[in-house]
Chains A and B, each alone.
Chain A
Amino acid sequence: MGAFSYFPQTGEDIRVMLERIGAGSLEDLYADVPADFIYKGEYDLPSAMSEQQVRDFFEGLAAKNTRLKVFVGQGAYDHYVPAVIPYITSRSEFLTAYTPYQCEISQGTLRYIFEWQSMICRLTGLDCANASMYDGPTAAAEAVRMCVASTKKRNSVIVSARLLPHVIDTIRTYAKYAGINIVVTDKVAEEVAEGVLDLAGVIVPSINRFGVIESHLGLADLVHGMGALLVEYCDPSALAVVKSPAEWGADIAVGDGQSLGIPLCYGGPYVGFMACTSALMRKLPGRIVGQTVDASGKRCYVLTLQAREQHIRREKATSNICSNESLMALWCTVYLSLMGPEGMRQLNALCYEGAHYLHDALLATGKFEQVFDGEFLKEFCLKPLCNVEKLQQALLDAGFFAALQTEEGYVTFCVTEKHGREELDRIVEIVKSVN
């Protein structure tokens, strides 16, 4: 086997290094490994490919995917990604850096995380935010754990059944092994009022899985009256225009940053966000960046409040999380910088306009019935009066991914600023043709 582009050692280099070590061969460096553990077989892997072969291989796989125009949301939204974002995030100083342990040579990462935290605070209206979580669902699961950790001798959390299914699943998984009692219900306020004995928290969506913007009027007072915390799960893009978690009186806000300029990418990588009131600051999981000064008084940024974390607190840490999805947080931070307040308002107005246009036009076909009369922004649900499989297939045949079915048998649509009137009209035409 000849030289390999990722391994710079020549045969002569290896000889020099072994000599310094006093070893006769590379194999000698494994003399402490019991011989039967040294793998002697041929690894069942393809033969090494050249870079061009690798590219061809993946182009072959790519050709097996069908590019569709996406009219489904359900936690992953097809918003436009401005060209600036991948340009910035592919800079290797950001891309190939580690967690900013050595702050003197990591001010770039630390600075943008501080900006991200600041932007998340502004979107949610809350006091502090962490440097990010894996994704929205895990952020929700961590928020549930945080409720239990922040309230004394309380172990039950009420979870709205109108959260996205994958969010509920993830919460259930974390809670199951941590021994947290989860009550999933459609009637959150009633359940709280009834008085769950050891209620630690309540988690509700800002916009629910049917696309309806929820009113949480009076809920925070009710939950706080029971000595529990209120968590809101939000789409951060929509938070630019819908009432913020702080305005509803929530203590913790979580959600997925994907809608802020991150490509769909078959579900990841995305980035979870988490914000809370200052009273809960030290219960936050994950990394947090803070501002301080250096020895000469220059403003600078560091990882702070680290005594909460696993590398110090070990089993008593607020979480086992070690990562933060920095690079994806950078996608969102650059996105929000480009968009600004007016861009975010205009974007949401376009979504609102398109979604309402499609909603009304679909109803006018007579193939659907309205099931919810609440206000919606970009995503909505209808009850189909036609054969759903035929409908979905007809849409797929025309290159549209739309009308995803919910467990109730409704179909969901999502319209973003990417979709023009022509595409919406085309969908309506296809719907009309389905029996």
Chain B
Amino acid sequence: MSKIAEGLLYSESHEWVKVDGNVAIVGVSDFAQEEMGDITYVDMPDIDDEVTAGDDFGALESVKTSSELVAPVSGKVIARNDELEDKPELINEDAYEAWIIKVEMSDKSELDALLNAAAYENIAK
């Protein structure tokens, strides 16, 4: 049974968002990392790249699969977790600690379309 962290917002494509003012911190859920197995690489955007809600912004890779990362919100990438470059396994170890990117949101109302922990629980099983 995968963990679902309270207080975060979730997308149906298994990304989580932690809202910090106008900044969205984005990662993937514990369910997503379990489905992937050992993550071998995280393909991340560069700082200053624009991401669009619903579009791919990167990908997770494991030995035999890959999974696109879908932006839960739109905006500009202001930080990326470079530690994942050498240690993608951090996502396997704690998916809610290992954030992937921070996005300066261009439209906070997009958050309304995301799910709370209780609603996400119905999807992540």
Could you tell me the dominant secondary structure of chain A's interface residues?
A: helix
Is A316's beta carbon under 8 Å from chain B? yes
A359–B70 alpha-carbon span in the complex (Å): 61
User: Which of A152, A307, A316 counts the most chain B CB atoms within 10 A?
Assistant: A307
Interface flags for A192-226 (1: CB within 8 Å of B; 0: not) read 00000000000000000000000000000000000
Stretch at the interface among B58-66, B76-84, B93-101: B58-66
Tell me the residues in window 65-120 of chain B with beta carbons closer than 8 Å to chain A beta carbons.
65-66, 68
Q: Smallest CB–CB gap between A140 and chain B, Å? A: 25
- Given A282-B41, A282-B43, A307-B41, the answer on whether A152 and B49 have CB atoms closer than 8 Å is yes
Inter-chain contacts of B49 with A (CB < 8 A): 152
* A152-B49, A282-B41 given; A307·B68 CB < 8 A: no
When distances are taken between beta carbons in the complex, the residues of chain A under 8 Å from B64 are 306-307, 312
Task: Count chain B residues whose beta carbon lies closer than 8 angstroms to a beta carbon of A.
Answer: 13
Which residues from A are CB-within-8-Å of B68?
Answer: 316
The reply on A55 being an interface residue by CB < 8 A is no
* A17–B41 alpha-carbon span in the complex (Å): 48
CB distance from A322 to the nearest CB of B (A): 16
A-B contact pairs, 19 of them (CB 8 A): A152-B46, A152-B49, A282-B43, A305-B41, A306-B63, A306-B64, A307-B41, A307-B59, A307-B61, A307-B62, A307-B64, A307-B65, A307-B66, A312-B64, A312-B66, A313-B66, A316-B59, A316-B66, A316-B68
Residues on B close to A: CB < 8 A?
40-41, 43, 46, 49, 59, 61-66, 68
Task: Kindly list 10 other residue pairs between chains A and B, CB separation below 8 angstroms, not including A316-B59, A316-B66.
Answer: A152-B46, A282-B43, A305-B41, A306-B63, A307-B41, A307-B61, A307-B62, A312-B65, A312-B66, A313-B66
